[in-house]
Structure 1
Amino acid sequence: MVDVDRRMSGLNPGHIAGLRRLSARASAPSTPASLPVRNGLQSFSSLADKVITHLRNSGFQVQPGLSDAEFARAEAEFGFVFPPDLRAILSAGLPVGPGFPDWRSAGARLHLRASLDLPIAAISFQIARNTLWSKYWGPRPSEPEKALRVARNALKRAPLLIPIFNHCYIPCNPSLAGNPIFFIDETRVFCCGFDISDFFERESLFTSSVSNPELLKKQRSVSEKSAGSSTNFTRRSMDAGLVSGTRTPRWVEFWSDAAVDRRRRNSS
């Protein structure tokens, strides 16, 4: 411990006690920085095991989970932090195959970057076609190029979306468990899962009750065909549940607004 007792005769007892506490903290052994992350994953282990088991029972291949080093590499390279529930799932197992993002292979980095860029590109396409405009951006400029500049500047504040499967994404912010899942392509934005667990339970492609090998084979075929396109694969929108008010997904800046605006346009 640092010697704080020397030459302290001029200090009052409160100062002396404070210095001794600081000295004790400085002398205490440091805790590895990785422990909070790893310990935090324990609270999501049940959810992660449930999702991974569900995927395996649905016929999907699952590799060993990502290591701390693999998480750190992806987060540093792409500039985001995995939400805790997604991190727990990918720690328990890495789903692989058409439609799933490959966070492990070095050869998949360009495809990952394209997947991460797709949501903003799709939104920009909708703005250019005058099919989407957020009321929070103010009046839409009459000039298409100016409108696109205003939108792209505003979209810098929107949370980055992390690919989950095909055109389905989870926001990286807020950095909490329970973020909703959004489906995004060049024509649509809608919420397709209250959270990541609900998404995998909701999608018919991931239904584990299917026991017929031929039907599973057909589902895998649909997955392969839809990996590069969203037009052949119908997502289950949660519009009915949202209208009835039975459950409300967490609000996420911009993306929730875009999904609600779409629902209002379709209902009008």
Structure 2
Amino acid sequence: MAKNISQSNVKKHMVCFSYAAYAKILINHLKSTDIPIERGLSDAELASIEATFSFTFPPDLRYILQEGLPVGPGFPNWRASSAQQLNVILNLPALGLFKQVSEGSLWCLSWGPRPGRGGVNAGLEKVKDLLRKAPVLVPVYRNCYIPCEPNLAGNPVFYIDSESARVLSFDVTGFFREFGMAHAPAWAPKEARMVEFWSDVAARGDTCGWWSGKLGGGCLDEVCWRLREGGWKEEEVREMMMMDGCGGEMESGNQVIGWRREEDMGWRVGLLSLVLLRGGWTREDVVYSLGLHDQNEVVDENVTYLECQLCN
């Protein structure tokens, strides 16, 4: 038994040493790139910050901040910034989500049924309630944040602003490679850890990469996501949306139909509504998903693809 305890202690010490060694290398590298670095945060300073803002620094970020405190543009200055300034930075992810939800460009299946038209306030209240239970995102640099929970090394770094949310790197070591760190340590994760609430948000922000752009009050990405939420498989979504893998083209039978002018949104709406109707959607669902004003704007499902192509 004593032998097992000894081995366990050695392994734990080796892991901690790896993070401490990496933190030293990283801070020295940042100094070499002329990023201002102040002395690292003391245990007392870290404890004070955590008590003030009700979160705990994840271990890998803690090692870095103890080794040295980056204070260049974009880095949070945990020592000199006021509590008010730091609160603003900490609240930016939530404000970004609120904007996306209020504009109708973001809703996750795990949040429950999406509020219908006119339900913006209900949607925002739901997200606020979920955020109260979600792990706090600790700022690393500009719009890049790392969740404080689980309180383990290796949490992913998220990028969140008022337009999008995504996983930026699998952990802080991957993030700092953007600052010229050539190699990730051997213990760096090979995939992003799942984090309550935020992983769903990031996954929602990564949908439908082959189409982009807003369409009326909604967006083409939203149509793809709604199909997935309805239980359609990825290949079925591609088939229903008739995408050939090339941005801006659709195919009908053996004929590839190129989009008309970028500003010719009416034709896109007509064709998309036809596709969704034939995919089993109700006219009401199509109106809501495409951001239309009423059901009269939806193309009759008996219209042929060619007639839809020639409309407008």
Task: Report the TM-score when normalising by structure 1.
Answer: 0.67
Does the CA-based 8 Å contact 1:62-1:95 persist in structure 2? yes
Q: Determine which of 105, 110, 116 is the counterpart of 2:84.
A: 110
Does the CA-based 8 Å contact 2:110-2:200 persist in structure 1? no
For 2:93 and 2:32, locate their aligned partners in 1 and report how far apart those are by CA, in whole Å.
Answer: 30
1:58 matched to 2:33? The reply is yes
Give the CA deviation at 1:108. 2.8
For 2:15 and 2:57, locate their aligned partners in 1 and report how far apart those are by CA, in whole Å.
Answer: 13
For 1:191 and 1:67, locate their aligned partners in 2 and report how far apart those are by CA, in whole Å.
Answer: 30
Q: Determine which of 149, 159, 180 is the counterpart of 1:183.
A: 159
Q: Say how many residue pairs are matched.
A: 191
| Aligned counterparts, 1:81-96, within 5 A | 81-96=56-71
For 2:79 and 2:167, locate their aligned partners in 1 and report how far apart those are by CA, in whole Å.
Answer: 27
For 1:50 and 1:171, locate their aligned partners in 2 and report how far apart those are by CA, in whole Å.
Answer: 23
For 2:85 and 2:15, locate their aligned partners in 1 and report how far apart those are by CA, in whole Å.
Answer: 30
Q: Which residue of 2 aligns with 1:26?
A: none
| Aligned counterparts, 1:239-258, within 5 A | 247-258=190-201
Q: Which residue of 2 aligns with 1:196?
A: 172
What is the one-letter code of the residue matched to 1:145? N
Give the CA deviation at 1:208. 6.2
What is the one-letter code of the residue matched to 2:44? A
1:47 matched to 2:53? The reply is no
What is the one-letter code of the residue matched to 2:47? A
Distance change >3 Å, CA 132–CA 118, structure 1 → 2: same
For 2:207 and 2:79, locate their aligned partners in 1 and report how far apart those are by CA, in whole Å.
Answer: 40
Q: Which residue of 2 aligns with 1:15?
A: none
Give the CA deviation at 1:110. 1.5
Does the CA-based 8 Å contact 1:100-1:166 persist in structure 2? yes
| Aligned counterparts, 1:110-189, within 5 A | 110-142=84-116, 143-189=119-165
Q: Give the % identical residues.
A: 42
For 1:207 and 1:253, locate their aligned partners in 2 and report how far apart those are by CA, in whole Å.
Answer: 30
- SS, match of residue 138 in structure 2: strand
Q: Which residue of 1 aligns with 2:180?
A: 207
Give the CA deviation at 1:43. 4.7
Distance change >3 Å, CA 261–CA 208, structure 1 → 2: closer
- SS, match of residue 264 in structure 1: coil
Unaligned runs of 5+ in 2: 1-12, 183-188, 211-223, 225-312
Give the CA deviation at 1:59. 1.8
1:77 matched to 2:52? The reply is yes
Does the CA-based 8 Å contact 1:44-1:85 persist in structure 2? yes
For 2:181 and 2:139, locate their aligned partners in 1 and report how far apart those are by CA, in whole Å.
Answer: 22
Does the CA-based 8 Å contact 1:189-1:262 persist in structure 2? yes
What is the one-letter code of the residue matched to 2:153? A
Give the CA deviation at 1:265. 3.3
Give the CA deviation at 1:39. 11
Q: Which residue of 1 aligns with 2:208?
A: 265
For 1:109 and 1:151, locate their aligned partners in 2 and report how far apart those are by CA, in whole Å.
Answer: 25
For 2:16 and 2:73, locate their aligned partners in 1 and report how far apart those are by CA, in whole Å.
Answer: 27
Give the CA deviation at 1:41. 5.2
- Cα deviation digits, residues 185-243 of structure 1 (max 9, x gap): 00010111111011010x2xx2268xxxxxxxxxxxxxxxxxxxxxxxxxxxxxxxxxx
Structure 1 segments, 4+ long, off by >2 Å, are 38-43, 265-268
Give the CA deviation at 1:50. 2.2
Moved more, 125-134 or 38-47: 38-47
What is the one-letter code of the residue matched to 2:25? K
What is the one-letter code of the residue matched to 2:29? H
